[in-house]
Amino acid sequence: MKNYAVLLLLLVALFSCKGRHKEASDDAAEDLKAKKMLQGIWLDDESDEILFKVQGDTIYYPDAENASVPFKIRKDTFYTYGKEISRYKIDRQEGHLFWFHSLSDNIVKLHKSEDDSDSLFMMGHRSTEVIPTYSEVTKRDSVVMYNGKRYRAYVYVNPSKKKVVKTSYSDDGISIDNVYYDNVMHICVYEGRKMIYGHDITKDMFSDVIPDEFLKNSILSDMEFYGVGKVGFRYQATVCIPESSVCNLVNLIVSFDGKLTMKIAQ
């Protein structure tokens, strides 16, 4: 688990450094004529499917879960400014034709749409739909006995409005940003009507046990109650990169006097 997290951090750092270096090293003036030629809806030559729409300074994608991104054209290079800066070498550009090299070194060949129905289709995709891991508040209630006393342990999963952006890559090697909602977990423990502990848990609270770079790119995806013992009430939080198996597990202990401690799961 730790090895996956370390690898991910190295990849994120590498892409970030490459993006900053390339942007800083290219101070050529923006090609406004080429940008004007790119306005419109562009379709893949082979599949005839819409790849993106260009309007003004922004690229919009047909999938509403893909975030729109600003772009620029400088010399023979096409730049997009999402979470990461991506650059694509332009092979050919004419009024109704646009070819460029993807990040995987494939030549992407596009032609401009002349079908009015394509414009109607893209009109409904101007706002990005955020991908929730939970769409509504989820409540979990556990009843446990310890030393002759009865306790209730709760977990409330609350979708938040805090967004996390993840960059992925299409089969053609084009970078695309997806936006996800993070979650807030409320945990509480009662002995009868007496509340021993009650608090909202956010991923930022794990900054002492999970590296900051991983936290920035992850969401608090789940929280489970695992029982009670002599040290207290045991919970486990799952912090993951969205839509991946790269996760960190954090063990939380709520003591009988209401104090919370946490450590990374081994």
Could you read off the pLDDT tens digit of each residue along the chain, which spans 266 residues? Answer: 444 443 443 344 434 444 444 444 455 789 999 999 999 999 999 988 989 999 999 999 888 778 889 999 999 999 999 988 999 999 999 989 999 999 888 899 999 998 877 776 676 555 555 665 665 678 899 999 999 999 999 999 988 888 898 888 887 788 888 888 899 999 999 999 999 999 999 999 999 999 999 999 999 999 999 999 999 999 999 999 988 889 999 999 999 999 999 999 97
3-state DSSP call for residue 108? Answer: strand
Q: Do 147 and 53 share a domain, yes or no?
A: no
Q: Is residue 11 part of a domain?
A: no
17: how many CB neighbours lie within 10 A of its CB? 10
Shared domain check, 249 and 143: yes
Contacts of 259 by beta carbon, 8 Å cutoff, 6+ apart: 197
Are residues 148 and 79 part of one domain? no
Residue 21 included in any domain: no
Indicate if 142 and 260 belong to the same structural domain: yes
Q: Is there a single domain that holds both residue 70 and residue 160? A: no
User: What residues are paired with 120 via a beta bridge?
Assistant: none
**Do 106 and 145 have their domain in common?**
no
Q: Tokens at residue 172, please?
A: 């053609």
Nearest to 141, CA basis, from 149, 151, 133, 132: 151
Please identify, among 65, 95, 123, the residue that sits at the C-terminal boundary of a domain.
Answer: 123
Residue 13 covered by a domain: no
Number of domains in the chain: 2
Q: Which of 92, 123, 154 is the last residue of a domain?
A: 123
- Domain assignment present for residue 51? The answer is yes
The pLDDT of residue 25 is 42
pLDDT at 210: 95
Look up the domain containing 199 and give its range.
Answer: 138-264
Q: Tell whether 196 is covered by a domain.
A: yes
Query: Are 72 and 148 part of one and the same domain?
Result: no
87 with 181, same domain? Answer: no
185, HSE (Cβ side, Cα atoms, 13 Å): 25
78: domain CATH number is 2.40.128
